[in-house]
Copies of this chain bind each other. A is one copy, B any other.
Amino acid sequence: MYFNVEIYWLMEILLGIKINEKLYLRNPEDTVLGRKILKHSVELIYKLGFESFTFKKLAEKIGSTESGIYRYFENKHRLLIYITSWYFGWLAYKISFQTNNLKNPKIKLQKIIKLMALPIKDDKQTSYIDEGLLHSVIVAEGSKAYLTKQVDKDNKLQFFKPYKDLCNLIGDIILEYNPKYKYPKSLASTIVEVVHFQNFFMHNLSSLTDYSKNNNKVEIVGFLNNLVFSSLDKK
């Protein structure tokens, strides 16, 4: 138990995942209850979907009370943004780390696409959050973090910085590969979004994709590589 917490702090420093302080009332990383909230909210959102997920159900799951969770998060939407921030921070770290030693920007971009489309190979027990579940939650629920009437307010509070940072990171490598490319930002956000909804369609509305049941995740990588590099290599 204590060991995991320590490991978490190590990862935190290593990962450099900084989560906007305005997202929470009380830092969930600081207490056992807070960490339980994070871990089990991912599990429960995965299980019930964000609409049916409530603080009361979460409280029951972790043996606390509704108001216990309200001490950490103002509402469930902020918790969702917290989770997506964590995800994008973690992804950006993973990408930085694994592309750091690479020189060729083409190989960098291919690595990025792979890391996003085929998640969880390493990071077995890096932290108390199950990254496999987290990825599924982001695919199905992530866009609900910004598809609201308060986007503008939330954006002004910098809540989407981790997402933007990731897109900027990808956008920079795109320009490194092709300095004349006209749409680096749009292509970067398109890569992220396409990975997510093609994943969703593959699992839930498969006739909207071309992937075979067995090799599906690999084929998303194929589609994205084709899409990205044909656009970047166009003379």
Interface positions of A (Cβ within 8 A of B): 48-49, 51-52, 140-141, 143-144, 146-149, 151-152, 155, 160, 163-164, 167, 182-190, 193-194, 197-198, 200-201, 204-205, 207-211, 222-223, 226-227, 230-231, 233-234
Contact = CB atoms under 8 A, between A and B. Distances in A.
B190 A227 contact: yes
The 10 A-B residue pairs whose C-beta atoms are closest, nearest first, are A49-B149, A230-B234, A189-B208, A230-B230, A230-B231, A151-B204, A183-B223, A185-B210, A186-B209, A183-B210
B147 A200 contact: yes
User: Main SS of the interface on chain A?
Assistant: helix
22 contacts: A49-B148, A49-B149, A52-B149, A143-B147, A144-B147, A146-B200, A151-B205, A167-B208, A183-B210, A183-B223, A185-B208, A185-B209, A186-B209, A187-B227, A188-B208, A189-B197, A193-B194, A193-B197, A226-B231, A227-B231, A230-B230, A230-B231
Copy tally for this chain in the complex stands at 2
Given A141-B147, A182-B222, A227-B227, 8 more contacts: A49-B149, A143-B143, A146-B204, A152-B204, A185-B207, A189-B197, A190-B198, A230-B230
